[in-house]
Amino acid sequence: MVLILGTTASGKGRLAFDLAETLGAEILSIDSMKVYRRMDIGTAKPPKEARQRIKYHLIDIVEPSAPFSVAAFLDTALGVIEQIKSRNKPVIAVGGTALYIKALLYGLFEGPGTNEQIRNELRMRAEIEGLSGLYQELTEVDPVAAQKIHQNDAKRIIRALEVYQLTGKSISSFQWQWNQRNTHACPERSRGDIRLKTIDGWTIVGLRRGKTDTSSRINKRVKKMLADGLVDEVKSLLAEEKPLSKQARCAIGYAEIIEHLAGRKTLEDATELIKKNTRRLAKGQRTWFKTFKNVHWLDIQPDEPPEEILTRAKMLVGIENAEFRM
């Protein structure tokens, strides 16, 4: 089993496809937005031609009106992996949704339960007093969590304060205990002079690009999305009988175009905001991925062809002599 991770626009989807063809593998998508049907352009789903040649999983499995959780992802993904194994096929997992990847590698964070009364009281305080007051309170009771949570992230601020009020302990202390239990040193095995570090059978390959290169690739991707009809795709989704779920509406590329269609932003401003938010996403992904253990990082050059990236990845997974089947 090979897991390919990287920031958005890093080229991980192309590598997954090329490696899957090499190995005769099936691909497991680890992406919180590619699960939604008819959200194709803005989520950068693999083209139809690729999906006709390689079997992909966890793409187009949920209606845009429905929510989709990390627990639902993990349950579905584990079932898919067993199915692929039963067919004696290799598994290539690929994605950039860090929380989903972490769940797949280490399991779900078993934090305390919820209390709707406490949560509602915190929401009311946020509306009346403003979110800044709640964030200041969080910095006092759980400075570790406050450093990781943006001061405008109402959902996570409220959750952290809810946990503290419910248990008298900080949410970061629960997360530390979970990390100590799950993020342990993993066994290594050798093949020739290549040492493969695995987590429960996964060989993890990470693609890493320079920030300037990543920004350039993001700009090109956004331009192509607009040219491919992103605005019309969003119009079509908004016209559906059932409204988009909160999760789908907040997806980068969709949220900004929705603002444009509502008359609150010009298309030019919406486009620039998509680029900005995508760069912010990439920054967040880089931060998340630094916490992952035993990743074999490939530093990719801006002009490096996909064939060269594939060759280097094949060496990491111990199949450097395999033929690449076009």
Q: How many CB atoms lie within 10 A of CB 207?
A: 22
Share of the chain above pLDDT 90, in %: 63
The pTM of this model reads 0.76
226 confidence band (pLDDT: 50, 70, 90) = very high
Q: What is the mean pLDDT of residues 40-50?
A: 96
Residue-wise pLDDT for 119-164, tens only, equals 888 998 888 888 998 999 999 998 988 888 888 889 889 989 988 8
Three-class secondary structure of residue 86 per DSSP: helix
Q: How many CB atoms lie within 10 A of CB 101?
A: 22
Residue-wise pLDDT for 24-38, tens only, equals 999 999 999 999 999
What is the rounded average pLDDT for all residues in the chain? 88
Query: Pick the residue with more confidence: 195 or 40?
Result: 40
The dihedrals phi and psi of 298, each to the nearest 5 degrees, come to -110, 115
User: Beta strand 26-30 with 194-199: parallel, antiparallel or unpaired?
Assistant: unpaired
The pLDDT of residue 110: 58
The pLDDT of residue 188: 39
Run of H or E residues at 202: strand 202-208
Residue 151, C-beta contacts closer than 8 angstroms, at least 6 positions apart: 131, 132, 135, 157
The pLDDT of residue 183: 47
DSSP string across 280-310: HHHHHHHHHHTT-SS-EEEE--TT--HHHHH
Structure token pair of residue 282:
């990439």
Q: Which domains does the chain have, with CATH numbers?
A: 2-108+188-316 (3.40.50.300), 116-169 (1.10.20.140)
The pLDDT of residue 248: 93
Residue-wise pLDDT for 102-129, tens only, equals 889 887 665 667 778 888 889 988 888 8
Structure token pair of residue 117:
């009364």
Residue-wise pLDDT for 248-277, tens only, equals 998 999 999 999 999 999 999 999 999 999
**63: nearest Cα among 237, 256, 258:** 237
Residue-wise pLDDT for 69-78, tens only, equals 888 898 899 9
Residue-wise pLDDT for 309-322, tens only, equals 999 999 888 776 54
The pLDDT of residue 181: 52
240 confidence band (pLDDT: 50, 70, 90) = very high
The pLDDT of residue 193: 36
- Amino acid found at 129: E
